[in-house]
Amino acid sequence: MFATHYHELTALEDEVDGVKNYNISAKKRGDDIIFLRKIVPGGADDSYGIEVAGLAGVPDSVIKRAKAVLKALESEKGVSADRGAAGGVAGGVSKGTVGRTAGADQISMLDIGAGEIAAKLKSIDLNTLTPLEALSLLFELKKKL
């Protein structure tokens, strides 16, 4: 059992005896997505990676940048708005293309973590923390870092 958005692997259902594709049913309205918690036969009709990243708490700046890069990749390669099961970039967008598209304003994951930690530290009143709360906070921040 495995999960994938690669067309090459989902196509195995037609080529290999016993291989079956299933996906989780979802409704998308604009930038919002609702997973219906229903497993249905067939490959995924779209990739929801950016939406899932948003649900997982990835910062808005990263989500916006991912959408911009995806849009550029789709227009550069002539990919339609319906990205299909492979998330839109099947057919091979080269690393060089992604690098040129992302440019100098690419966000580092380290910068994101540092920003979250700085925001957390700024919101804390150190004068009201118990030693145990301070230790717990230190553990949490180290884990994020």
Q: Where are the domains of the chain?
A: 7-106, 108-145
> What is residue 86's predicted lDDT score, i.e. its pLDDT?
38
| pLDDT tens-digit readout, 65-101 | 999 998 888 887 665 444 443 333 333 344 444 443 4
> What is residue 46's predicted lDDT score, i.e. its pLDDT?
78
Residue 134 vs residues 71, 119, 125, 145: alpha-carbon distances, Å: 44, 16, 10, 16
| pLDDT tens-digit readout, 3-47 | 666 767 788 888 899 989 888 888 888 778 888 889 999 888 777
> What is residue 11's predicted lDDT score, i.e. its pLDDT?
83
> What is residue 40's predicted lDDT score, i.e. its pLDDT?
92
Of the candidates 59, 53, 50, the residue with the CA atom closest to the CA atom of residue 114: 59
User: 91: alpha, beta or left, given left = phi > 0 and alpha = psi -120 to 50?
Assistant: left
Rounded average pLDDT over 96-125: 63
> What is residue 112's predicted lDDT score, i.e. its pLDDT?
62
